[in-house]
Amino acid sequence: MKYFPGSLGHFTRRGFLVGISSVAITAPLAAREYRGGIPWRPKEAVPPDAYDPDARFFDDGERAFVTAAVDRLIPADEYPSASELGVVDFIDAQLAGSYGRGEIYYMEGPFEDGLPTQGYQAQAPALLYRQAIADIRDGLARAGQPDFVDLPPEKQDMLLTALSEGEDELEHTDGRTFFETLWQNTLEGYFGDPVHGGNRNMEAWRMIGFPGARYDYRPYIDHGGEPLSFEPISVGGRMVQ
């Protein structure tokens, strides 16, 4: 199965995104600690810190590559593309922090090839991105091809498909691992809580009808089966960018 929905029709594409969004909503990369008492009382909880917009890892070329790539994974139609919802900022900030350094992984040797059931087996994610992007761009240059950002969309799709299916060997890292990491991070930035830097104005949540981090639904239990229209709320409050 091809991971990215760029060539799918709108109904299938939206249905596909709705189907996978729950994973991204519930699994942000660098989980934050939300503290407060039970029962909850107004103004007594400790809100999460918003992401740091100055936290940057990518250089200009890497940022351009990731922008082009995520916009092929989730392109724009009547809904915003991945980069339009801040996915690149989200990934950039994550790679500049503890996730990028691999602090949640065991990174000491000896290193052996792992099984798919053993989860992430690559180097620190920031290094994975840096090496994979460099390998892809260098490979295109050696083949006399334009840079990835200058390729027509159908050729960008072909390259991403080859990575996703393990058909494109990279020089210094595993192409399929890079693609799967990029795809997962794209979903997290698109559908995650906007406190982490993506999902601007909670547009992705509005698209799928997700109400966000509301504290209490008891007033709406007896709604007689009628659809409920909620404005979504971030764990950081009503975050509009």
- Rounded Cα distance between 17 and 82, Å, is 12
- Rounded Cα distance between 104 and 83, Å, is 26
- Rounded Cα distance between 167 and 12, Å, is 26
- Rounded Cα distance between 218 and 209, Å, is 18
Query: For residue range 127-150, what is the model confidence (pLDDT) as tens digits?
Result: 999 999 999 999 999 999 999 999
How far, in whole angstroms, is CA 33 from its chain's centroid?
20
Give, in order, the Cα–Cα distances in Å from 164 to each of 4, 91, 170, 180, 241.
9, 19, 12, 7, 33
Query: For residue range 72-107, what is the model confidence (pLDDT) as tens digits?
Result: 999 999 999 999 999 999 999 999 998 999 887 777
Task: Look at the chain and count its residues.
Answer: 241
Closest C-alpha among 14, 100, 17, 25 to residue 55: 100
The pLDDT value recorded for residue 218 is 80
The domain locations on the chain are 60-208
The pLDDT value recorded for residue 11 is 41
Lookup: tokens for 24: 């991204």
Please indicate, yes or no, whether the overall pTM of this predicted structure exceeds 0.85: no
Lookup: tokens for 60: 């200009």
- The more confident residue out of 15 and 132 is 132
Backbone angles phi and psi of 95, in degrees to 5 = -70, -25
For residue 127, give every residue at least 6 positions away whose Cβ sits within 8 Å of its Cβ, in sequence order, or none: none
Contact 213, 233 (CB under 8 A): yes
Lookup: tokens for 140: 């295109």
Give, in order, the Cα–Cα distances in Å from 51 to each of 15, 48, 109, 155.
29, 9, 32, 34
How far, in whole angstroms, is CA 173 from its chain's centroid?
20
The string over 58-75, giving b where at least 16 C-beta atoms fall within 10 Å of a residue's C-beta and e elsewhere, is: beeebbbbbbbbbbbbbb
Query: For residue range 22-51, what is the model confidence (pLDDT) as tens digits?
Result: 556 555 455 455 555 555 566 665 656 677
